[in-house]
Chains A and B, each alone.
Chain A
């Protein structure tokens, strides 16, 4: 049973570029959440997708956008990259969301902005 898979594992971009990160949820899960983890910090919630729609959004600018596909996989897009966007981006999946549903995390994509 495959867990949450993310690609790529590492990525290097320059300021102003755009990036797309990908996530496949754990088998049987239909909800995908994205988190940003800066170095030495706890993860911060970016947004959550359910039924192909953004269900909730954290305190992130519109440069951060996403998408969920019919097979429940998801993409995170970041435009006009800033140095401060350097972080580990984590994808988590769960069954239908909800506060009691544990979320399963992938190993993340390490994004470095030069």
Chain B
């Protein structure tokens, strides 16, 4: 079965410092992986996606993620945090078995950005 594990429930950084949000996946197939962000009382916005092309994926707002098959990881990074980055982040795998695009979400990581 496909699943994702977000290794940190809360991450706190200072504005201007790097961000690292960690995600490990479990999949019997070559996975499609996504990172979504959710600001308070809002829906989910797609940050980036990996679909078996380049292993380093660039997304919106300066975020990027690297797919490492040997480590079954898909960590999200950003060189310099902004206050507006404070939100909930979800690592997501798409279920390849059903082929319908059903999304399986991690538990989420709350990113706090301190001034």
Out of B42, B43, B45, B101, name the residue touching A99 (CB < 8 Å): B101
Nearest B residue (CB) for A43: B105
Q: Is the C-beta of B103 less than 8 angstroms from some C-beta in chain A? A: yes
User: Number of B residues contacting the other chain (C-beta, 8 Å)?
Assistant: 26
Sorting the interface of chain A by its residue count into under 10, 10 to 19, 20 to 34 or 35 or more gives: 20 to 34
Residues of B contacting A41 in the complex (Cβ-Cβ under 8 angstroms): 107-108
Contact indicator A45/B43 (Cβ below 8 Å): no
Contact indicator B101/A94 (Cβ below 8 Å): yes
B33-51 residues with Cβ-Cβ distance < 8 A to A are 34, 36, 41-46, 49, 51
Contact indicator A102/B49 (Cβ below 8 Å): yes
Q: 21 A-B residue contacts at CB 8 Å?
A: A35-B103, A41-B107, A42-B90, A43-B105, A50-B100, A55-B100, A56-B100, A90-B43, A92-B44, A98-B99, A98-B100, A99-B51, A99-B100, A100-B94, A100-B101, A102-B34, A103-B103, A104-B46, A105-B45, A108-B43, A110-B41
